[in-house]
Amino acid sequence: MSQKNLYMTRRTFVTGLGLSTVGLYFGAFAYAQNKATTEPSGAMGPKPDPEQPVEEQKSIGLNPNVFIHLAPSGLVTIVCHRSEMGQGIRSSLPVLLADELGADMKQVKIIQGDGDKAYGDQNTDGSNSVRGIYQDMRKVAATARMMLVSAAAARLKVPAESLEARDHQVFHKASGKKIPFGDLAIDAGKLEIPKPDQVKLRPDKEMKRVGGKLPLIDGPAYVNGTAAFGADIRQPGMLIAVIARPPVVGGQVKKFNREAALKIPGVKQVIEMPQPAPPYGFQPWGGIAVLAENTWAAMKGRDALAAQWDAGPNGQYSSATYRESLFKSVRNPGEVMRNVGNIDTALSSAAKTIEAEYYVPHLPHVPMEPPAALAVFKKANGGSCEVWAPTQNPQAAMTEVARVLGLKEEQVTVHVTLLGGGFGRKSKADFCSEAAFLAKATGVPVRVQFTRTDDIQNDYLNTVSAQHLTASIDEKGKVTGWRVRTAFPPIASTFNPKEDRPGLGDLQQGVLDVALAVPNVRAEACRAPAHIRVGWLRSVYNIFHAFAVNSFIDEIAHARKMDPRENMLEIYGPPKKYSLDELGVKELRNYGQPLEKHPVDSARLRGVIEKVTQNSKWKSRGKQKNRALGLAAHRSFNSYTAVVASMRKRPDGSLFIDEVWIAIDAGLVINPDRVRAQMEGSVINGMSHVLFGGVTHKEGAVEQTNFDGVQLVRMSTAPQKINVEILRTENAPGGVGEPGVPPVAPAVANAVFALTGKRIREFGFANSGLQV
């Protein structure tokens, strides 16, 4: 049954709230019972008649915006419009709304929002689900609270200022009277919605649950197997599609054996996919789809195709040769993106100069759940398509599905399932539009299923990078100059092939926003044309910029014969907030946030460094036999994180990390338990990068096919203990999902040097002749 039921007609729609960051809207909200918390917002009823007058619709309760509905029964329904992929957003944002409203969580139901522009930005990416909309979401709930209070004031004939909404009731302290929320729902629903500038938030001290211990709402479903992920969705008569995609971006099929595939028991159809044209964006990859009654038959049918490919213009792409071209690029001047003082004079007059080059390969996403999407196409009424997918960006999926099918976006519905990890891969819509294309071509429901090999070889990989760093030291041993040259194909190249070097938005991640108490600083962007589809991975460019910056700071410490901690604190300088002029930049994108709200603040960076070194007993533990510590710190997504890694050596000479300490200042924190989990996962993620490296290309194709080639930290290589410290500060909320990753790799690399004297300047211990 169709589940696109937001029911916002011209008659029922109310003008936009006009919120600061993402344009959340007020409007009519289809509500009612749903059978499971994982059902999308469309699975709601009773359904108001779209042609019913607004005043009659209000009799169903209080529905001031698309996020909250209060029924006369007292049930509060809250829509979570961001995707849940283990980070606990469904356990955080709804609690924030409930706290601002004054609701009892025992009378709150949480449902998942379908893709719809009425919700504003739904892209669960960039560590932005709290950071970017904290105040806006509070306003959403405060609006409902003010309407309840106004209704109670009218009923009790008292000033609204004398009332308080809490514990699912409105209280009048002077008389002791109280009215349950449900009893006020209809009256409140008839009131005029307050204008944005009239909405007042609660004092922060009244937000009782924010920052406290919160349950993982979907935890029981994860444990008992009732949680619905992408591949769990079924439709009658559906077929499973596995696609033989070109191994090289831009490649085309030369020949394939259709008849052999159709002979496999269970295989029903073989369909050629549309050939994409640059710029590739989120288009389907092309190739040949095999549709079968089950996944195994589809996979065997694909094997039987014996497809042969024309690699196309990117067939000569090789990791080895491209690596050398990147180093050649950064060994020459690039476009100046940041400049303070005169770096040329500092270098020419230096008593000593230090130089180092760093390389990080393409990194794959490898979420636990490979991409999958189910689509149903209907011809009636001009055509429509319904998609169920573990997508991080349902609106992007709507756009791409509509493009592929030649429909309008309002003819496409995207339901968001739970995600078994995402890391940025599932914000791309290719797998959704593949399913939609095949559903229309076959006339039956189709689920496209990626295998692990598909996931690795047809990924939007994190970009490959090379960096050349140079520092000058004067006769007194002071660092007087800092120059970084960085080259990597930017994500923008996926959408515009002419983009062949990093831009301002790319370099905000660990180049332009690094606090440096150095009088002469220059950052240069160097050329790096793309040959694959580049995408964003958890922490994105911060991964390799933090690796180079922190490794280089450690190299400077060694050259100066200083303790790495003291050297780092000196380079980052005394506590201060940096202006654009002091940073040496004309513009700082700052992850979409104003610099006034989220400045580049060396005090916060120093804070996490001091805390993590204190917790790790930096001075004493680092002197123990057969043990060494490495330190790194980084600002990303408006948060500050520092890591200390403890490296030890086994009797056979192999190295292992036995303990890690991580400290984060993410400003105001809603759900500390989820932040702690994100930091623990970040340690495993970052260690996987530096220990095992990424993927390589030969003749344009990814060489690795599974977890034998793309290795992750397992129990045998995981730290025995990960210690997490969450600094409680009064700063605005920063990101959490990504900031923990960047400092992990350089902390490990610096620990290797402290223990062995060997520098790690690229990911993958094996590339440096080390065992793990």
What's the whole-number mean pLDDT along residues 21-35?
Answer: 29
Say whether 527 sits in a helix, a strand or coil.
coil
- Tens-place pLDDT, residues 12-23: 222 333 333 333
What's the whole-number mean pLDDT along residues 142-148?
Answer: 98
Q: Examine the pLDDT at 32 and tell me if it is beyond 70.
A: no
Q: Examine the pLDDT at 128 and tell me if it is beyond 50.
A: yes
The C-alpha atoms of residue 286 and residue 455 are separated, in whole angstroms, by 15
The C-alpha atoms of residue 9 and residue 25 are separated, in whole angstroms, by 14
pLDDT of residue 58: 45
Q: What is the DSSP string of 107-148?
A: GEEEEEPPS-GGG------TT-TTTTTHHHHHHHHHHHHHHH
Q: Examine the pLDDT at 35 and tell me if it is beyond 70.
A: no
The C-alpha atoms of residue 483 and residue 339 are separated, in whole angstroms, by 9
DSSP 212: S
Q: What tokens appear for 366 in the block?
A: 């490898």
pLDDT of residue 631: 98
Query: Confidence band (pLDDT; 50, 70, 90) for 624?
Result: confident
- Tens-place pLDDT, residues 487-519: 999 999 999 999 999 999 999 999 999 999 999
pLDDT of residue 60: 85
Compute, in degrees rounded to 10, the torsion defined by CA atoms 159, 162, 165, 170: -70
2-224 under CATH 3.40.50.300, yes or no: no
Q: Examine the pLDDT at 27 and tell me if it is beyond 80.
A: no
What's the whole-number mean pLDDT along residues 23-48?
Answer: 33
Q: Examine the pLDDT at 757 and tell me if it is beyond 70.
A: yes
Is 67:81 a contact under the CB 8 Å cutoff? yes
What's the whole-number mean pLDDT along residues 440-444?
Answer: 98
CATH 3.30.365.10: which residues of the chain? 2-224, 232-312+371-449, 319-364+460-768
Q: Examine the pLDDT at 41 and tell me if it is beyond 80.
A: no
Topology classification of domain 319-364+460-768: Aldehyde Oxidoreductase; domain 4 (3.30.365)
- The pLDDT mean for the chain works out to 92
DSSP 534: B
Cα angle vertex 404, ends 399, 406, to 5°?
A: 90
Q: Examine the pLDDT at 9 and tell me if it is beyond 60.
A: no
Say whether 525 sits in a helix, a strand or coil.
strand
Q: How far is CA 140 from CA 64, 92, 252, in A?
A: 8, 15, 49
What's the whole-number mean pLDDT along residues 616-639?
Answer: 93
Q: Examine the pLDDT at 55 and tell me if it is beyond 90.
A: no
pTM, two decimal places:
0.92
CATH for 232-312+371-449, options being 3.30.365.10, 3.40.50.1980, 3.40.50.620, 3.20.20.220: 3.30.365.10
Q: Examine the pLDDT at 558 and tell me if it is beyond 90.
A: yes
What's the whole-number mean pLDDT along residues 736-745?
Answer: 98
Percent of the chain with pLDDT over 90: 89
Q: What tokens appear for 374 in the block?
A: 């189910």
- Tens-place pLDDT, residues 379-402: 999 999 999 999 999 999 999 999
What's the whole-number mean pLDDT along residues 619-632?
Answer: 90
What's the whole-number mean pLDDT along residues 442-456?
Answer: 98
